[in-house]
Amino acid sequence: MNEDRTFWECIHDARSGGQIPRVWRTRELIDVLTPPAGRFSPNTVSVLPYNGSISREGNGIGDFIKRGIEPKAWRVGRGKFELIVDPDDDAEQQHTQRELAKMRSLELRAQVRRTAGQVNPTRPTQPRTLTRSETPRRSGRGVPTNRRDVAETITLDDLELQEIAELSTEQKALYIVTKYIRDKYGSGVEIEKDHDGADLRFSVHGQDEQRIEVKGTASKDLAWSQLKVSSQKSHDALESGEVTMYRVVNVDGPQPSIYILKYDQDFTLEPEPRWAVRQINREDDRYPLRGRSYRYNLPLDPVAQDDWETPE
């Protein structure tokens, strides 16, 4: 595989060569794009299609598209994708699909901005602080099971570090967790995004589906004071035990660690209402006297000593 080809160009090449179908899943890219045939890691293959795609209908939008990057693929079903510019289409069809994708991405970005700006004054969002469980559970032999003291450490190579260098902390954490799951369970695992109170869901050979809330930090410890759960859906899913939290620490380093945490065993959820105050930058703040008339009384008189303000 040509080292100069981008990830999406390699998918286009695979489509041109008949190596993958028009509508493909990430698992169908593994044999084509990962070593020895390709040069991308399994984690890259599983994450980038979601980050670089949008849905024709609904609200599916990848993290890269939110940041203004041009979408590369359509989401056409659960875990299924189709190139926006497919080699089987003629020039007119490719142009039409490209323009449609541009319009759709603008709509979805606007929708994201509207959703982020919505505030319900009658019921403000209440971030919840995760705190240490006071009483650790015990195993059947009477030995304390302190899950937060046990971490899985993985190693990222130079290429993987380059791939995630520009991502946010949470995006890096998602990348790391996906790599961990793929390394642990192999080619039989299928990982998808979860939009119902969790970040990811995965199953092995179509069985034992698990749902995960991913929380990342650049700190090398759990950084409990920084852990927040803002979504009511996430809160309910964690509290019910339907979702497990994966806390990824040292996301910027070559050897991040993952702590697998369970509600009521490793943490509790406590309400912590809080509002963030943000300054509004207005043009007339820079020139407060513009457009106003002022009168100065006795402008040439001396100033008395007591009139000066001095710091204490």
Cα three-residue angle 109-127-147, rounded to 5 degrees: 110
Instruction: Report the mean per-residue pLDDT for the chain.
Output: 80
As beta bridge partners, residue 190 has 203
The whole-model pTM stands at 0.51
> Is residue 35 over pLDDT 80?
yes
More reliable by pLDDT, 101 or 117:
101
The predicted-structure confidence for 163-218, as pLDDT tens digits, reads as follows 788 888 999 999 999 989 988 888 778 888 887 889 999 988 878 889 999 999 99
Of 83, 78, 82, give the one whose Cα is nearest residue 192: 78
pLDDT of residue 87: 95
pLDDT of residue 42: 83
Instruction: Compute the average pLDDT of residues 68-72.
Output: 90
Distance CA 271, CA 124 (A): 12
More reliable by pLDDT, 39 or 249:
249
> Is residue 284 over pLDDT 90?
no
Instruction: Report how far apart, in Å, the C-alpha atoms of 258 and of each of 58, 124, 187, 234 are.
Output: 32, 32, 21, 19
With b for 16 or more beta-carbon neighbours within 10 A and e for fewer, the 141-160 pattern comes to: eeeeeebbeebeebebeeeb
Name the least confident of 13-17, 265-269, 278-282. 278-282
Share of the chain above pLDDT 90, in %: 31
The DSSP string of 169-223 is HHHHHHHHHHHHHHHHHGGGEEEEE--SS-SEEEEETTEEEEEEEEEE-SSSS--
Helix axes 42-51, 169-185, angle to 10 degrees: 140
Name the least confident of 43-47, 116-120, 197-201, 220-224. 116-120
Distance CA 99, CA 73 (A): 13
> Is residue 142 over pLDDT 70?
no
pLDDT of residue 128: 55
pLDDT of residue 111: 84
Q: Please report where in the chains the tokens 């001095």 appear, as a residue.
A: 310
Q: CA end-to-end span of the chain, whole Å?
A: 70
pLDDT of residue 143: 33
The residue type of 152 is: E
Q: Please report where in the chains the tokens 């130079």 appear, as a residue.
A: 158
* Exposed / middle / buried, residue 218 (Cβ in 10 Å: 0-12, 13-18, 19+): middle
The predicted-structure confidence for 224-277, as pLDDT tens digits, reads as follows 888 988 888 888 889 888 999 999 999 999 999 999 999 888 888 888 766 667
CB-CB neighbours of 211 under 10 Å: 17
